[in-house]
Amino acid sequence: MGAKEPGATVALDPRDVMGPLDPHRRDFLAAAKAILLLAAPAFVAAAGDARADIAVSAGGVELDWIAPGECADRGRVLAEIEQRLGRSSAANGEPSLKARAVVSRNERGSWDLRLTTTLGETTHSRELHGETCAELADAAALIIALAIDPDAASRSTPTADPDTGAGPGELSGADPGAGADPGASADPGAGADPEVDAAPDAPTAADAPPAVSSPPGASAAPAQHPSRPLELRGTLRASGVLDTASLPAVAPGAAIAAGVLIGAVRAELSGTYFGAQQAFVERTTMGGDVQLITGGLRLCYAMRYRAFELGPCAGIEVGVMSAASFGAASPGSNRALWVAPHPGALASFALSDQIRVPLAIDVPFPVTRDRFVLVGIGAVHRSAAATLRASLGVEVRFP
C-alpha cells in the first residue's frame, strides 16, 4: 500500500472514524462465518432427502403431487389409485405411468387441479375445478387409474364422501329413492332378487321422480362446507444475495432463513453476510475494507396460482457495519450499528411439494448512515439512503 501521508492518523472517534482493532470484532466475524459454513451441509442434506420422496411408485405409477398441506397427501392419492386398480399394474408388465398434479386455491376460494399424465410416448394435460381439495384428489386418482386400466372404475368401490354420503361418481344431494318403484311393497323380501339388486337398470328421464323444489317464498339453505384448517409448515432457505449500495461496491453475500407458514402468511428470521469491499480515499492509496453482517425479521403474504406464489413483504434488519483501514501508518478498525426497515416482495416456484425456488427483492432504508473516515485524509465510505437487494436460493418446506 502507499506510504503514510504527512499528518495522516487513524483517530478513535467511535461514530465517524476507524479506531483501534477490537479483538471482540474478530471473534464475532469468525463465529458468523462458522455458522454459515456449518449450516450449508444441513441445507444440502435436507434438500436431497426431500427430493428423494418426490416420485413414489404405486402399481407402476410415478406421482409428483404438489398441493397445500390442508389437502390430501401423496400417500392417500396413491392408496386410492391402488384401490381402484385392485392390483399392481407392474405385475402385468404394463408400462409405468408418470403423473404430475398441481393443486391450488383460486381467488373464488374453490380449488384448481392441473394434471399431466405420460404413458409411453403419449402425454395428456387437463384442468379440473372443485369446491374442495378432496374432490380433486379423488378425481386425480380416478383419472390416473383409468389411464392405466380403462376397467378400473368398474372394479372399484370408492369410499363415500363423508360430507354428503355420495361416492365420487354420484351427485351429492340426490334423492336416495331415485329409481325405486314408488308402489313397491314394504315387505322385507321385496327386491331380494339377486339379479335385480346386482345390476339395477339406470332410471330414464321419464321414469325418474320429479325433483323436489322448495316451497314458494322459502329461502334456500346455504351450502354447508367443512371448515378448512390452516396450513401450518416450517421452512428453511439458503440464498445467494446481491446488494447494490450498502457497501462501497455491488456486494455478493449469503443468507440463511428459517420460518413458519400459517396459511398464506409467512414469518421468518434470517441472517445475511456480505464480504469486505474495498473503498479508497479519493486521490490516495489509503482506504478501508468495509463489510456488513445483519439479522432480520420478515413477514410476507403469499398469493398462490398453481405452482407459483407471489406476495408483498415487510421486514426490518439489525446488524453491524465494520471497516478496517489499510495504507495508513497505524492500521485501525471501527464499526457502527446498522438498522434498516425494508419493504419488498417474495416469489417462488414449486419443484415439488417440499422444494421451492424463491426469489426475493428488498429495498432497505438505513436509519443511520454512519461515515467512516481517515482523519486528516478524507472519507472512506458512507451507505446510500436506500439500496436494492435481490436474493435467489432453494427452500425446503416440512412436513
> Before 399, cis peptide (omega within 30)?
yes
How many C-beta neighbours within 10 Å does residue 160 have?
Answer: 12
Nearest to 294 by CA among 322, 323, 319: 319
pLDDT confidence band for 335 (50 / 70 / 90) = very high
C-alpha cell of residue 14: 467511535
Pairwise pLDDT comparison (109 vs 165), residue with the higher score:
109
Look at residue 229 in the predicted model and tell me its pLDDT.
Answer: 60
* Residue that the C-alpha cell 418426490 belongs to: 54
With 50 as the cut, is the pLDDT of residue 293 above it?
yes
Q: Of 167-176, 193-202, 356-365, which one has max mean pLDDT?
A: 356-365
Q: What average pLDDT does the segment 320-348 reach?
A: 94
Q: What average pLDDT does the segment 286-309 reach?
A: 94
CATH no., domain 71-169? 3.30.160
Nearest to 268 by CA among 353, 352, 393, 102: 393
pLDDT confidence band for 239 (50 / 70 / 90) = very high
C-alpha cell of residue 306: 398453481
The ranges of the chain annotated as CATH 2.40.160.20 are 23-46+231-398
Q: What are phi and psi of 222, to 5 degrees?
A: -65, 145
CA separation, residue 306 to residues 109, 310, 378 (Å): 14, 11, 55
For residue 229, count CB atoms less than 10 angstroms from its CB and return exposed for 0-12, middle for 13-18, buried for 19 or more: exposed
Helices (H) and strands (E) in the chain, counts: 5, 16
CATH no., domain 23-46+231-398? 2.40.160.20
Q: Helix, strand, coil: what percent of the chain each, to 5?
A: 20, 40, 45
pLDDT confidence band for 201 (50 / 70 / 90) = very low
CB 298 within 8 A of CB 267: yes
C-alpha cell of residue 120: 409411453
Look at residue 104 in the predicted model and tell me its pLDDT.
Answer: 87
Look at residue 348 in the predicted model and tell me its pLDDT.
Answer: 96
pLDDT confidence band for 238 (50 / 70 / 90) = very high
pLDDT confidence band for 87 (50 / 70 / 90) = low
N- to C-terminal Cα separation, the chain: 54
CB 334 within 8 A of CB 20: no
With 60 as the cut, is the pLDDT of residue 43 above it?
no
Of 114-123, 196-205, 297-306, the one with minimum mean pLDDT is 196-205
Of 100-104, 151-155, 293-297, 312-316, the one with minimum mean pLDDT is 151-155
With 60 as the cut, is the pLDDT of residue 24 above it?
no
Q: Report the DSSP beta bridge partners of residue 265.
A: 262, 301
Look at residue 83 in the predicted model and tell me its pLDDT.
Answer: 83
pTM: 0.52
DSSP secondary structure, 202-264, as one string = PPPTTTSPPPP-PPTTPPPPPPP-PPPPPPEEEEEEEEEEEESSSSSS-EEEEEEEEEEEETT
With 50 as the cut, is the pLDDT of residue 81 above it?
yes
State how far the Cα of 267 lies from the Cα of 265, in Å rounded to an integer: 7
Look at residue 145 in the predicted model and tell me its pLDDT.
Answer: 84
Look at residue 199 in the predicted model and tell me its pLDDT.
Answer: 40
CB 313 within 8 A of CB 344: yes
Pairwise pLDDT comparison (50 vs 311), residue with the higher score:
311
The ranges of the chain annotated as CATH 3.30.160 are 71-169
Look at residue 308 in the predicted model and tell me its pLDDT.
Answer: 93
Look at residue 397 in the predicted model and tell me its pLDDT.
Answer: 93
- 384 SS3 class: coil
